[in-house]
Amino acid sequence: MDGFDAFLLARIQFAANITFHILFPTISISLAWVLLFFKLRFVKTGQQHWMDAYQFWVKIFALTFALGVVSGITMSFQFGTNWPGYMEKVGNIAGPLLAYEVLTAFFLEATMLGVMLFGRERVSETLHTVATLLVAGGTTLSAFWILALNSWMQTPAGFEMINGQAHVTSWFEVIFNPSFPYRMVHMLLASGLTVAFLVAGISAYRWLRKDRGAEVMASLKTGVYTAALLIPLQIIAGDLHGLNTLEHQPAKLAAMEGIWKTEKGAPAVLFALPDEKAKENRYEIAIPKLASLYLTHSLDGEIKGLDQFEGKHPPVAPVFWAFRIMVGMGLLMLAVSWAATWQLAPWKKGTERNLRPWHAKLLVAMTFAGWVALIAGWYVTEIGRQPWLVTGVLTAAEAASSVPAPRIALTLSLYLTLYAALIVAYISVVFYLARHRKHADKPFGTGLEDTPNPVTYPQQEGAPHA
Amino acid sequence: MLDLAPDLTQAAGWMPIVFLVVMGLAMLAYVILDGYDLGVGVLMRRASDDDKDTMIASIGPFWDANETWLVLGVGILLTVFPMAHGVILGALYLPVAFMLIGLTLRGVAFDFRVKARAAHKPLWNRLFYTGSLLASWSQGYMLGSLITGFADTWWTMVFNAVIGLALVAAYCLLGAGWLIIKSEGALQLQAVRWARASLLFTMAGVAAISIATPLISQRIFEKWFSFPNIVLLLPIPAATAVLFAIIFRSLQRLPVRLGQGNEYGAWVPFGATVGVFLLAFYGLAYSLFPWLVIDRITIWQAATAPEAMGVILVGALVVLPMIIGYTVFAYRVFWGKSTALKY
């Protein structure tokens, strides 16, 4: 019984860490590109408000990046402390992919970050822009490698098993395994949407506080337009990813849809309480034949149910619910971003082209909506892979370590306390920075120092301040 | 030692040695680079509020990349020596966890201290200090565990804890040396005083480790104190002693010179401390090779398949020179006395 407890605790600990970690790279990947966009707009137009936007968001970027780095270092150790069997069995594949991530991406982004954050007065404008580009490229490259590995664990390809160890037969097939292109696109769009809503939400927050200079309006429009553009693409990409899952991981898909028995003309379940013991849904509300229609493009297409994967399918309720939270969030994002785009539409003139206050409040409420959808989505795909760690090759239980449960419990409680405190600190500091940002339209280099303290920012006269 | 090795003309024979060297160099780079910024963090508790900002500014553009060397080092252990990775990190479970919590605290405090409201700044400063201290001490503790082969007795734990303190002192010496280079005026003179105090603790620590290590491990004792090894190895402790003497003398002379605005020799304490680290590292490597876990796992037993090592090696050979190149570039950009950090 002790072994089981340690296994469960190790799982919770790793899940907690990876959940905490993913919040921050998701923001830094796309925020780096948004910063590059602000920088390029400034270089091209010479308009100060673009640089102001850059200088506001680069602070949040630096904070986000630091949180991503420290939680990422923790991850690199927890692979070994929590799942020693993982590297022993598939190290020949996971090893090089992780090594390439460190070598090609981590050093590049970490080193160039220093130049990007603090070097603007020490290097030329062009070199500073290049440093920003390299940071953005580094973050994206890092996502490429880690998603290649994650996708390989979902849908392994390009290897053979010799004496219980995986050996590569084709690196191309390992990296571009069946689910990788879909996951990569889906994740990058998720990152883009998370940042779009973050930028829109924080800008709407400043707008509500009558901070309505050119900088805030430019940020607001950047956030809203990006969200409105990306969300339909994400819905399409998500749908294609689902079809890919149906083909390669049918057990996960059956859990997502809550389909217990293999049937033709399967319904789309809108609401239900999946019951693992009775192997059925309770209080089900469903639309007949719809799941077959969107998954097989035929009203009577056959969908494999969970009965086909007895004992080898993931826990149904968490996957089922996480999937609905993600989809619901996506639809909410679609409605909110399109409505905001309508209010801010470029063809409207003068005061017509403005945000309604209630809608600004909605955007503020959805500042971190991307995080909710992101975590729900990752829970679908990661819990959906269980009981496997690497589908068909290695189960999570086989890879677990023999660290005694009390030690894991001790560190787990420390980590959880730390993470909860840091998330609270992060969110409150982001809003704090938004409140204490001086007004835009000031010449560059005055009062922008990050040290000794941003609280010394002069308050613009007449700017209401709570 | 090489009698434990398989045929060295084969990939499975020589590649683990190459990676051991790369991993060792990555860890050495980490200890020196993150060592100085951890040291600055530990020293920060004793600085005035204005000096705190200057001290942070001296490490601001670098700390992030410095920590990446740790990821590379542990990454090679994870990817090239997977069979030892689980054993080592399993045995070091608690100190690793404490180090990670320390690194997390200081990494985020670095940003929060200037971004959160002013009233919270002292709290984040304290966390920056605590995190730096915890991470440094945990690393020293792990170093001790490595030497004692992860034994879990009461005496080895005391030994490990003392090495932890010695490493904190050595990091402070590095950090103070760094501050002498990067700062001016009162802080610079303060850094000289910090360096003097750290030097004494470091010397005591190194002496204690040098005496205790052969006593604790029979194998290391035999490696060092057999003829002709002892004659060939004598230059290592001798050179270490010379370097300590150089640092000592430099710290005596520097205050007068710096007071006159003469920066000549400001690099000596930092440079000579790096020399001490190199020698200590060499001595440690000699003591342990070819074991990853003393008397249990050699580098060849722990290594992954040659084809996987080959793939990583090609990448490392192409990319590492680039990494070193742009690291040098970044250090040149921020060359000279540090200035206030501005976005």
Tens of pLDDT, residues B85-113: 878 888 888 899 999 999 999 989 988 88
pLDDT recorded at residue B2: 54
A63 touches chain B (CB under 8 A): yes
Confidence of residue A462 (pLDDT cuts 50, 70, 90): very low
Q: What is the pLDDT of residue A373?
A: 95
- How many other CB atoms are there within 10 angstroms of residue B256's CB atom? 9
Task: Tell me, yes or no, whether A293 lies in a domain.
Answer: no
pLDDT at A465: 41
Give the per-residue pLDDT at A380: 93
Residue A141 has pLDDT above 60, yes or no: yes
Cα–Cα distance, A113 to B107 (Å, whole number):
14
pTM of the predicted structure, to 2 decimals: 0.86
Q: Which residues form the domain of A108? A: 2-249+316-456
- Beta-carbon contacts of A20 under 8 Å, excluding residues fewer than 6 positions away, are A71, A419, A422, A423
Structure confidence at residue A383 (pLDDT): 92
Within an 8 Å CB–CB cutoff, is residue A418 touching chain B? yes
Please name every residue paired with B297 in a beta bridge, in sequence order, or none if there are none: B293
Contact across the interface for B319 and A81, Cβ inside 8 Å:
no
Give the pLDDT of residue A451: 36
Closest to B39 in 3D by CA, of B198, B277, B182: B198
Per-residue pLDDT for B58 more than 50? Answer: yes
Which residues on A lie below 8 Å from B333 (Cβ)? 114-115, 119, 122-123
Identify which of B65, B104, B117 has the shortest CB distance to residue A70.
B104
Q: How far apart are CA B319 and CA B133, in angstroms?
A: 33
Cα separation, A182 vs A247, whole angstroms: 13
CB proximity list for B79: less than 8 A, separation 6 or greater: A87, A91, A94, A95, A96, A98, A99, B304, B308, B312
**How many residues are given for chain A?**
466
Q: Which residue of B has its CA nearest to A410?
A: B94
Q: Do A70 and B108 touch (CB under 8 A)?
A: yes
Q: How far is A181 from chain B (nearest CA, A)?
A: 23
Average pLDDT on A389-408 reads 86
3-state secondary structure of A374: helix
**Sign of torsion, CA A260 A265 A267 A268?**
positive
Burial of A43 (0-12, 13-18, 19+ CB in 10 A): middle
Contact B342, A126 (CB under 8 A): no
Tokens 């309770």 map to which residue?
Answer: A282
Partner residue facing B315 (CB), from A84, A103, A122: A103
Helix or strand or coil: residue A78? Answer: helix
How many angstroms separate the CA atoms of B85 and A77, rounded? 9
The CA distance from A340 to A353, in Å, is: 10
Banded model confidence at residue A30, pLDDT cuts 50, 70, 90: very high
Q: Are A85 and B90 in contact (CB under 8 A)?
A: no
Query: Chain B within 8 Å of A455 (Cβ-Cβ)?
Result: yes
Q: Which phi and psi angles does B114 have, rounded to 5°?
A: -100, -10
ipTM (interface predicted TM): 0.84
Provide the pLDDT for residue B342: 65
Whether residue A86 is contained in a domain is answered as yes
Is residue A255, in this structure, part of any structural domain at all? no
Does the CB of A118 have a partner CB in chain B at under 8 Å? yes
| Tens-place pLDDT, residues B255-283 | 888 888 888 888 889 999 999 999 988 88
pLDDT value at residue B317: 87
pLDDT digits (tens, 9 = 90+) for A371-388: 999 999 999 999 999 888
Nearest to B58, CA basis, from B175, B196, B136, B193? B175
The per-residue pLDDT for A461 is 38
Secondary structure, 3-state, chain B: CHHHCCCCCCHHHHHHHHHHHHHHHHHHHHHHHHHHHHHHHHHHHHCCHHHHHHHHHHHCCCHHHHHHHHHHHHHHHHHHCHHHHHHHHHHCHHHHHHHHHHHHHHHHHHHHHHHCCHHHHHHHHHHHHHHHHHHHHHHHHHHHHHHCCCCCCHHHHHHHHHHHHHHHHHHHHHHHHHHHHHCCHHHHHHHHHHHHHHHHHHHHHHHHHHHHHHHHCHHHHHHHCCCCHHHHHCHHHHHHHHHHHHHHHHHHHHHHHHHCCCCCCCCHHHHHHHHHHHHHHHHHHHHHCCEEECCCEEHHHHCCCHHHHHHHHHHHHHHHHHHHHHHHHHHHHCCCCCCCCEC
Q: Is the per-residue pLDDT at B77 higher than 60?
A: yes
Q: Which of A187-201, A247-261, A278-292, B128-142 has the lowest mean pLDDT?
A: A278-292
Residue of B329 and B138 predicted with greater confidence = B138
Peptide bond into A96 cis (omega under 30): no
Q: Is the pLDDT of residue B174 over 90?
A: yes
Q: Is A432 on the interface with B (CB under 8 A)?
A: yes
Please state the domain extents for chain B.
Answer: 14-333
Average pLDDT over residues A17-28: 94
Between A304 and A352, name the one with better pLDDT: A304
pLDDT of residue A460: 39
- Torsion angle in degrees (nearest 10) through CA of A131, A103, A72, A326: 80
The DSSP 8-state label assigned to residue A12 in this structure reads: H
Report residue B42's pLDDT band, with 50, 70 and 90 as the boundaries.
Answer: very high
What is the Cα A167 distance to its own chain's centre? 31
Looking at the structure of chain A, the number of domains it has is 1
Residue-level pLDDT at A134: 93
What is the reported pLDDT for A456?
33
Number of inter-chain CB pairs under 8 A, A vs B: 243
Compute CA distances A355 → A207, A369, A439, B93, whole Å: 9, 19, 19, 53
Nearest CA distance, B331 vs chain A (angstrom): 9
b/e map B33-58, b = 16+ CB within 10 Å = bbbbbbbbbbbbeebeeebbbbbbbb
Residue A464 has a pLDDT of 41
Condensed to tens digits (0 to 9), the pLDDT of residues A89-133 reads 888 888 889 888 888 888 888 888 888 888 888 888 888 999 999
**Pairwise CA distance, residues A128 & A118, whole Å:** 10
User: Is residue A359 situated within a structural domain?
Assistant: yes
Cβ atoms B62, B334 nearer than 8 A = yes
Q: What percent of chain A has pLDDT over 90?
A: 40
**Which pairing describes strands A280-287 and A302-303: parallel, antiparallel, or unpaired?**
unpaired
What are residue A448's DSSP bridge partners?
none
pLDDT digits (tens, 9 = 90+) for A50-85: 998 998 999 899 999 989 988 888 887 888 788 888
Residues in A closer than 8 angstroms to B78, CB to CB, are 76, 79-80, 87, 91, 95, 98
d(CA B170, CA B277): 9
Side chain identity at residue A352, one-letter code: E
**Averaged pLDDT of chain A:** 85
Question: What pLDDT, on the 0 to 100 scale, is given for residue A445?
Answer: 39
Q: Give the minimum alpha-carbon distance from A65 to chain B in angstroms, rounded to a whole number.
A: 9
Q: Is the pLDDT of residue A442 over 70?
A: no
* pLDDT 10s digits, A321-360: 999 999 999 999 999 999 898 888 888 777 777 888 888 8
Mutation to test the A interface, candidates B111, B123, B142, B328, most A Cβ within 10 Å: B111
| pLDDT range class, residue A438, cuts 50, 70, 90 | low
What span, in angstroms and rounded, lies between the C-alpha atoms of B165 and B177? 18
pLDDT (0 to 100) of residue B36: 93
Distance CA A320, CA A269 (A): 10
Whether residue A444 has pLDDT greater than 50: no
- Give which of A101, A63, A79, A102 is closest to A18, Cα–Cα: A79
Q: Report pLDDT for B254.
A: 86
Tell me whether residue A280 is in a domain.
no
Cβ-in-10-Å burial (0-12, 13-18, 19+) of B134 comes to: buried
Q: What's the mean pLDDT in A304-310?
A: 84
Q: Is the pLDDT of residue B82 over 90?
A: no
Asked if the model's pLDDT at residue B230 lies above 50, the reply is yes
What does the alpha-carbon distance between residue A152 and residue A94 come to, in Å, rounded to a whole number? 9
pLDDT of residue A1: 42
The pLDDT value given to residue A251: 87
Residue A458 has pLDDT above 60, yes or no: no
The band of B175, judged by pLDDT with boundaries at 50, 70 and 90, is very high
pLDDT of residue B343: 62
The answer as to whether A269 is a domain residue is no
Give how far Cα A405 sits from Cα of A9, A21, A41, A412, A415, Å. Answer: 7, 23, 54, 10, 15
Q: What is the mean pLDDT of residues A390-405?
A: 86
The 3-state secondary structure of A134-155 reads: HHHHHHHHHHHHHHHHHHHHHC
Q: Are A437 and A206 in contact (CB under 8 A)?
A: yes
User: Which residues have a Cβ under 8 Å from the Cβ of B335 and sit 6 or more positions away?
Assistant: none
Contacts of B80 in chain A (CB under 8 A): 95, 99
Residue with the larger pLDDT of the pair A237 and A289? A237
In this structure, what token pair is assigned to residue A238?
């998500």
- Average confidence (pLDDT) over A175-202: 95
Q: What is the pLDDT of residue A286?
A: 83
Residues contacting residue B142 through CB under 8 Å, at least 6 positions apart = B92, B95, B96, B99, B160
pLDDT band at B13 (very low <50, low <70, confident <90, very high): confident
Distance CA B137, CA B147 (A): 16
Does residue A72 belong to the interface with chain B, where contact is any CB pair within 8 Å? Answer: yes
Would you state the pLDDT for residue A233?
95
| Average pLDDT over every residue of A418-446 | 75
What DSSP designation does A104 have?
A: I
Q: If DSSP codes are grouped into helix, strand and coil, which group holds residue A273?
A: strand
* Chain A stretch 242-271, residues whose beta carbon is closer than 8 A to a beta carbon of chain B: none
